Structure 1
Amino acid sequence: MKIKKAPFFYAMLLPIMIFVGCTNDDEGNLVVVDDTAPIIGSTNPLSNATGVARNKPISIIFSELMEPATINATTFTVMEGTSVVEGDVTYADSTATFTPAASLESNITYTAMISKEAKDLFGNGLVKDTSWSFTTSGTSSTLGVVELGGASNYVILAKTAINNSSTSAIVGDMGLSPAATSYITGLSLTDATGYATSAQITGNVYAADMAVPTPINLTTAVGDMITAYNDAAGRPIPDFLELGSGNIGGMTLTSGLYKWTTTLTIPTDVTLTGDADAIWIFQISGDLTQSSAINIILNGGAQAKNIFWQVAGEATFGANSHFEGNILSMTGITFQTGASINGRALAQTAVILDANAVTKVQ
């Protein structure tokens, strides 16, 4: 049986034939058929959001890949009453972004609209024109960073234990408090006055039972870690709520405040796209789980230091996975064999390591 090539980069779509269906033409050739309309997974800002920063890009996440040529200034528009807002429209992966040419006006309700002429790779348009409204704040400031205070001095900071298996490569200082040095295992520490060293660490190790001023410094750092956790957890008015029903695998995420009231899973690669000043805060009420060999990818100049993952449950990173950002966990953080991170692991209980690469960001 022959397979007849279909338009829209058919070779890319062969792996998903079983999801879109197939048929045969008059010559018996197999042809992929997809007549399912794409849908909008989420918008940023959300519908009826208030207090939106005046210089915030406006974005749409679609349920599938779209034909880039159909995402443009004609199909994706923003209006202030009957006036068109000037701006640039871009598309990457499954996300369309409208960036205003100038800051929006303060305390004004705007309406964003995506036309049904926006189509997927098989030529299916949205079922209908879709619009939503949001109201700006009186300020042009964007989402603010989570201030880590003294906790920012550590690449790993925990309260109850830091346990390592095999050989890890850690860049940055480690701290443990109120637990003592004996609760740091697997790093073959060499004691010094007020700190310890290890061949596995480019930096120093500090624990609550070491010489002054280490105990008070750690008490301050742990207090700042808890303050930062509460700050991240308490940020109001999320830009995205329950995105992907707790599964963000394969998504490209623009900057903003994200909230899930349950667990969050990352089963396939996720891209965070934004400039060097873009900020992400992820509020997770349950566990955070990243699958083995899966990556968080930064695009467009995005920086790990501006990414904050507030996790009420456990944070677990699968074998040989790669993560980006600052983890603020109330429960614990576990890096399985070969996992790596650019950022910080800040846990209110324990951090578990197993032949990991952990690198502090500035």
Structure 2
Amino acid sequence: LFLLSVAVMVNVIKGASINVQPVELGNAAGDFAILAKTGISTVPKPTVTGNIAVSPITSAAITGFSLIIDSSDTFATSTQVVGKVKASDYTDGSNLITAVGQMKDAYNDAAGRDTTATNGIDNLNLGGGEIGGTTLTSGVYTFDVDVLITNGDLTFDGEGNSDAVFIIQTSKNVKQAGSTSVILSGGAKAENIFWQVAQEVVVAAGSHME
């Protein structure tokens, strides 16, 4: 999202050298950018970098992607995915059982993390759920409302630490508006950002998510 204004105020949420441990994804689950049990849907012209998969549901639950089944029948490709597309009904699809099990363990790990604090105040329902236009440092941010990225770009700042970990927990949805971006700065890495979402993740056209 681009906020057209005479002046744009960007909030910076600073943590106090918080040491958050990464969520262990496991070798199988860690191979996927998106791994879902109930389905993956998209509108035309997205780009997903990394492998995606669904299990135990079948490939019929992958909608909006132009899938071309490989001759091995073990995966599909798509112009919208920089990687492979896998599903339980493809040959060797049973291998996804391990990945889904690891995903469940990782989800429970992330969900069980204690909320960290900034300046002595818990990072609970920060901004009422609106984190667009903010910069987050390492920590565990907990929400019982929808997490919104609609009021500008969201920046994760590693503050010079490439091992900085960010965990976003919500019992609701994550919704990102079109033309907004999730930006990495200060050494922050996408592999150290964990979104634990109980309901849906909706990323609008023209936006960029990490």
Q: TM-score, normalised by structure 2?
A: 0.80
**Structure with a larger share of its residues in strand:** 1
- Report the equivalent of 1:254: 137
List runs of 5+ in structure 1 lacking aligned partners. 1-13, 17-63, 66-92, 100-140, 325-362
Distance (Å, rounded) in 2 between the aligned partners of 1:219 and 1:179 = 11
Greater displacement, 314-323 / 304-313: 314-323
Greater RCO (CA < 8 Å, at least 6 residues apart): 2
- Report the equivalent of 2:173: 287
- Report the equivalent of 2:53: 175
Counterpart mapping for 1:232-247 below 5 A: 232-239=110-117, 240-247=123-130
| Distance change >3 Å, CA 202–CA 250, structure 1 → 2 | closer
- Report the equivalent of 2:19: 142
Deviation of 1:234 after TM superposition, in Å, equals 0.8
Aligned equivalent of 2:204, options 312, 318, 328: 318
Query: Does the CA contact (< 8 Å) of 2:139 and 2:166 recur in 1?
Result: yes
- Report the equivalent of 1:195: 74
Aligned AA for 2:145? T
Aligned AA for 2:85? V
Aligned AA for 2:146? T
Report the secondary structure of 2:100's partner residue: helix
Larger radius of gyration: 1
- Report the equivalent of 2:91: 211
Report the secondary structure of 1:310's partner residue: strand
Report the secondary structure of 1:236's partner residue: coil
Counterpart mapping for 1:308-347 below 5 A: 308-324=194-210
Query: Does the CA contact (< 8 Å) of 1:273 and 1:300 recur in 2?
Result: yes
Deviation of 1:202 after TM superposition, in Å, equals 3.8
Size of the alignment, in residue pairs? Answer: 194
| Distance change >3 Å, CA 262–CA 277, structure 1 → 2 | same
Q: TM-score, normalised by structure 1?
A: 0.48
Distance (Å, rounded) in 1 between the aligned partners of 2:56 and 2:131 = 35
Q: Does 1:303 align with 2:189?
A: yes
| Distance change >3 Å, CA 321–CA 219, structure 1 → 2 | same
Aligned AA for 1:181? S
Distance (Å, rounded) in 2 between the aligned partners of 1:189 and 1:252 = 39
- Report the equivalent of 1:270: 154
| Distance change >3 Å, CA 151–CA 184, structure 1 → 2 | same
- Report the equivalent of 1:158: 36
| Distance change >3 Å, CA 292–CA 238, structure 1 → 2 | same
Query: Does the CA contact (< 8 Å) of 1:197 and 1:203 recur in 2?
Result: no
| Distance change >3 Å, CA 276–CA 243, structure 1 → 2 | same
Query: Does the CA contact (< 8 Å) of 1:158 and 1:176 recur in 2?
Result: yes
Deviation of 1:258 after TM superposition, in Å, equals 0.8
List runs of 5+ in structure 2 lacking aligned partners. 118-122
| Distance change >3 Å, CA 204–CA 321, structure 1 → 2 | closer
Deviation of 1:308 after TM superposition, in Å, equals 0.7
Identity %: 40
Report the secondary structure of 1:203's partner residue: strand
Deviation of 1:288 after TM superposition, in Å, equals 1.3
